[in-house]
Structure formats: C-alpha cells, structure tokens
Chains A and B, each alone.
Chain A
Amino acid sequence: MKIEVLQRNDLELVFKVEGLKTGYANALRRIMISEVPVLAIDEVIIHKNSSVMYDEILALRLGLIPIKTDLERFVFQEECDCKGRGCPLCQVSLTLNKRGPGVVYSGDFISEDKEIVPVDDQIPIVKLGEGQEIELEALARLGRGKEHAKWQATNSCSYKNVPLIGIDRESCDLCGDCVERCPKKILEIRDEKLIVKDVLKCTLCKECSEACELDAIIPFHDKESFIFKVESTGSLEPEVIVIKASEILEEKAEEFLRELKAAIEGTGV
C-alpha cells in the first residue's frame, strides 16, 4: 500500500492510496461519515426565551452548530465514570445570554472551556426584536454521526478510482476534437503530441473517446487505486478524521476476531 497526500489545508484533505480493494475503501469512507465522534450540543436548558422561535426549533438549530473537538480529552457520556450524570470529561456547558434588538450569533456563546467553542463565530441563530431576550445553557456531548447528523465529522467525504487515459499515438491524427470536448480541459496538443496535463482531474466521462473518430483515446480507471477527498466541518482536522476512522476500523476487526475465536471455541469444533 502506498499513500500520497495531494492536497491539504485546514478543512480539506485529498490523498491517493494505491493497492486497496473497493470494499476496504468504502468501509473507511462509511466510518469517516458515521462513526468518528465529535462534540455537538445535545441538550439545552432554557431559562428565558421571548424570541419568536420556539424552544424546540431553537434547540435544534443550536445542535447543528459545529464545535471544535479535542478527542483526547473527552469520552462518551455512557462510558464515563460519572455514569451519565455529566462531568467535565464528558460534557461541556456553553451559556448564551442576549437581549434584543439584534441577531444572536454562534460567537455569542460563552464556553466554560476556552478550547471548546463553535467553529465559526458568524453562524446566525435567531433574530431578536426590541425587548426580546434569550437566556440558556447548552450542553455539548460526544456523539456519532449514525445517531444524528449533527455529530457528523465530515461534510463531503468521497473516493474515486484513479483515472488513467490511454492514448494510441500511432493512430491519433491530432485533430483536436477531444481537446475541445473535454469538460475539465485536461488535454493539450504540445509539440505535435497529444498530452494529458492533469490526469487526476479526469471524471471518466468518456467525452474524449466519443469525440475521437479513430478510437485513439480511451479513459479507464485503476481498480485498486483510490483518491479520497475528506472535507471536515471544522470540528476536527481532516487528518484526525482519517486516523480515527482507521482506528475504529481496526477495533472492529479485532472485535470480530475475538468473537469469532470465542464462538469457535464455544462450539468445540
């Protein structure tokens, strides 16, 4: 297996993996989407709400705000030593106090933990009129995307096979039809030769082979190489999502092996 990082910034990681089966790639993708834990507001204690928005809708909106997460410091509330009562290891309290007129933004939250804050300060929550008031306490907890989408660590998370473009240079007459038809504009005629500028941008749409009357060009893909594109919501770094997803996959495999061994021993085979 060979891994190469193609693109990386605060919110996005694009990497190429060679020597991987589709099933494995898909397992990794599904775990990244639905099993990587992140913090999200799970319960809201409303003291005052004279805004036009109902408490339940307000709470739902608060739940969808992505929150910066440190996975080293938090555990699931069900697995915590406090037995679900709520302690600094499994829960963070954020308070919101605001009086109208004006818009309440996610940046108005005051967190008891200065590292656990909303990812963006400019997410509008509710618009308050003259004299309207909001006073509430929100409890953020760890959760998994399979329980509710607010706990999803990724925005867009996908993979594709590595595209390859086969060109038969002997039969190609350099007509340039494929260069024009390509929607990604990755083909070029340079020095009397048809060349591919950036093969990874190819979407395998097969426009070029349709344009070619001589069948000199055909795009295909490498079945055992993948390009992953992981986009984070901002709560975790994209590389942390991939690492955590791999660990979860490993744990699942280990659990399977353990159970399988126990089952075989139990039946006396």
Chain B
Amino acid sequence: MRYRCGKCGKEVELEETFGIIRCSNCGYRIFYKERAPVIKRVKAR
C-alpha cells in the first residue's frame, strides 16, 4: 500500500520499512493514505 508523507509529500511504500513508520526521504512519521484508484458507483439519492 502506498502512503503520502505528511511533510515532504513523497509517495512511500510503507511495507519496505519493516514496521518502522518513517519517511525514507525526510524522516517524518505522519502519513496520509491515498484514495484507492477504483471507480466508484453511487446512487444519487
């Protein structure tokens, strides 16, 4: 799963870091989950 770093905005694959949640680019520890790239059908009511 890909996450976006809260500080530098780089997309990071968190599984690679073996449980330590830390940005490989800037060392920041808060991440945002990106919206899944699936097409969503919703009823307009």
Contact A41 B41 (CB under 8 A): no
Interface size class of B (residues with CB under 8 A): under 10
How many contacts A-B (CB < 8 Å)?
39
**In the complex, A44→B44 CA distance in Å?**
6
Contact B40 A150 (CB under 8 A): no
Contact with A along B20-45 (1 / 0, CB 8 A): 00000000000000010001111111
Contact B43 A43 (CB under 8 A): yes
Most buried by A among B43, B44, B45: B44
Contact A55 B42 (CB under 8 A): yes
**Chain B positions within 8 Å of A48 at CB level:** 35
B42, closest chain A residue (CB): A59
**In the complex, A108→B40 CA distance in Å?**
21
How many A residues, CB 8 Å from partner?
A: 20
Which positions in A face B, CB cutoff 8 Å? 40-50, 55-56, 59-60, 62-63, 138, 148, 150
- 30 A-B pairs within 8 Å (CB atoms) are namely A40-B44, A41-B44, A42-B43, A42-B45, A43-B43, A44-B42, A44-B43, A45-B39, A45-B41, A46-B39, A46-B40, A46-B42, A47-B39, A48-B35, A49-B35, A50-B35, A55-B40, A55-B42, A56-B42, A59-B42, A59-B43, A59-B44, A60-B44, A60-B45, A62-B44, A63-B44, A63-B45, A138-B44, A150-B44, A150-B45
Pick the 3 closest A-B CB pairs, nearest first: A63-B44, A59-B44, A59-B42
